Structure 1
């Protein structure tokens, strides 16, 4: 039978401790550094709207946008508020990549590549909000409710899976590194 110290030293326990510390640190950083002046939230919202508007304009739609608002000309617009700019999901994704064991080079690749990909996914989401609001405005509330599940979560879960498969960590969950005695 395993002693309590063997459980505490297990890679899985260490992972959960890291996750707790990372998310606690993220919450403190967000609440006391990022939140008071909203600079990161504001940048993510404005950049997402700007890129979504540019993408739609490039594809031929006549678009109006200012700061957080974007719309097809002559139609009601959408506003990207701080809670809808993807920052919380970016933090969640980054926390897992940082906490899960692996080499630093691969970790940085997955971290920054994944964050960039998720940012682009949010631009796509904003773009689809504008089009949903234009073509089927009666479904905008339903789309707002479920678009994260449709767009973000499959991407995050796939990236996490790829990280666990490519992180050079052989026996993290299997317990192969522990004796059975």
Structure 2
């Protein structure tokens, strides 16, 4: 039988420190988000609106597609016998609804996860700041491209929409996050203290 104290000693100190910081960061974020930001949508509302507007803008201005617009609307849905209402960013193509972008799809959680990794790794303040800013911009652009891809599939290849929404584009977004982490981690040298 493996003893917990033996397992703890097998994990190098820098890894234990990183895991401890990451767990603490995750708990603090979840508490702050659920207490201050979830109901107010102070963070979600502008980010979801931005993703919708940017997706429509790119579709209208870069390529042969046009006639897209984005509006913030209330959406109702039922889940396990209860009805819920929340605001979503809705993408229209010539007054036909093409895509709903809910707050859970705005990329906020992924950005916080990315930032948490950077904050918990040892490095200089300026290097962390640079990677956080560039990484958040890249992740936001990746999420907008994901929405554009979903809109394109919904319009022209509807049969592939569900697969792309549930699997393909999630793999794309998470791969971008992991690639950013790998690039950041390359020049970090952990010392066993």
**TM-score, normalisation: structure 1:** 0.85
- Aligned pairs, how many? 171
| 1:57 maps to 2:78 | no
If each structure's helix is expressed as a fraction of its own residues, which one has the higher value?
1
If each structure's strand is expressed as a fraction of its own residues, which one has the higher value?
2
**In structure 2, what is the equivalent of residue 10 of structure 1?**
13
| Structure 1 unaligned regions, length at least 5 | none
**In structure 1, what is the equivalent of residue 32 of structure 2?**
29
**TM-score, normalisation: structure 2:** 0.80
Structure 1 CA distance for aligned equivalents of residues 170 and 9 of structure 2: 38
Offset of 1:136 from its aligned partner?
Answer: 1.2
Q: Judge conservation of contact 2:90–2:97 (CA < 8 Å) in 1.
A: no
Change (3 A) 1:5 1:145: closer
Q: Judge conservation of contact 1:64–1:71 (CA < 8 Å) in 2.
A: yes
Q: Deviations over 1:38-78 (max 9, x none)?
A: 12111111000101101111024221321201132264421
Offset of 1:7 from its aligned partner?
Answer: 6.9
Change (3 A) 1:148 1:93: farther
**In structure 2, what is the equivalent of residue 42 of structure 1?**
45
Change (3 A) 1:139 1:25: same
| 1:87 maps to 2:146 | no
Q: CA RMSD in A?
A: 2.3
Structure 2 CA distance for aligned equivalents of residues 48 and 119 of structure 1: 8
| 1:102 maps to 2:123 | yes
Structure 1 CA distance for aligned equivalents of residues 48 and 118 of structure 2: 24
Q: Secondary structure at the match of 1:77?
A: strand
Q: Judge conservation of contact 1:125–1:147 (CA < 8 Å) in 2.
A: no
